[in-house]
Amino acid sequence: MTALRAVPTDDRPAVAPPPVDDGDALDAYSRAVTGVVDALGPAVVSVDVRRGRRGGPDAAGSGVVVTPDGFALTNSHVVAGSRELRVRASTGESAAASVVGDDPATDLAVIKVDIAALGAVAVGRVDGATRVRPGQLVVAIGNPLGFASTVSAGVVSALGRSLRGRDNRLIDGVIQHTAPLNPGNSGGPLADARGRVVGINTAIIARSQGIGFAVGAEIAAWVLSQLLARGRVRRAFLGVGGGTRPLDRRLARAHGIEAATAVEVMSIDDGSPAARAGLRDGDIVHRLAERAITSIDELVRALREVPPGQPTALGVLRRGQAITVAITPLER
């Protein structure tokens, strides 16, 4: 059988297509990761914690300097119960630090260190408006198992995960990612390819492969502002237990409700704002002020924007009727 071959249509010799150079993609990936390390690496510190009276540190974690005057974000569980904190920069200099504020509900804390004693330290940018997407490159920098300034990279696996904090409250807006984490990464930053902090690494699933979690920048920026302003986080609460449930389409349409889900009240704490406002078991909460409530997590997020003690309105469906309940959330 005669083999077929291509014949040029002009007198010029045939030119084979250039080979695909996978190195170009690898070089771009490497440049992205090294760029993050160059920009953000000097802002990442090791946090050594002493809880006893003698000896070396009892535990260690990571943190990221977020202001030029030495305030740094880390995890609440890293600094919990500490008697003494010491921070080490990537260059090796160390200095004593103190806890400014602690928020176990989001597993975040702010510490203060003498920035001059650490030498040349960069500042990480934590912007609550920064957004990430599944599949996006992310880089984790921290001090796992005592190995300082360790870099790992992965992708965003999923958004909107929820974890339980130490006080059993849901931490919402959690980022799931594949950048490898180990004990000691806690409190360190998760960054995008531009070196912006998109989350604070907080948890892993033991014996898993590539499943890590970071508190998202939106939550971290809000908690940071609260702790810097008053040393604690003020949270409004209603005193209800409930669950997300689908809305009957005809009922929702009849009352002009566009959402497909809302929150059903299943329990009410005695003496709580919900009890004082006359909420009942079985009520369906679909609105807080002007914000649609489609889930328990959405209700928690909405309450962050309501100052404790400020009267507000709940949109409620009760036995098929739409009513408005005046309620005054209190500080937890």
**Listed residue (306, 268, 307, 309) closest to 289, CA to CA:** 306
CA dihedral 220, 104, 173, 281 (to 10 degrees): -140
The amino acid present at 18, given as its one-letter code, is P
In angstroms, what CA-CA distances link 229 with 112, 222, 303?
Answer: 14, 11, 19
User: How far is the C-alpha of 158 from the C-alpha of 256, rounded, in Å?
Assistant: 32
Q: Is-catalytic flag, 98?
A: no
141 forms beta bridges with 151
Q: Is-catalytic flag, 77?
A: yes
User: How far is the C-alpha of 26 from the C-alpha of 41, rounded, in Å?
Assistant: 21
Give Cα 32 to chain centroid, integer Å. 22
Q: Which of 77, 90, 172, 283 is catalytic?
A: 77
The amino acid present at 291, given as its one-letter code, is R
Q: Which of 48, 102, 107, 192 is catalytic?
A: 107
Provide φ and ψ at 248, rounded to 5°: -60, 125
Q: Which of 48, 186, 192, 283 is catalytic?
A: 186
- Could you tell me if 88 and 183 are in contact, meaning their C-beta atoms sit under 8 angstroms apart? no
Q: How many helices (H) and strands (E) does the chain have?
A: 6, 20
Strands 150-164, 44-50: pairing is: unpaired
Residues annotated as catalytic are: 77, 107, 186
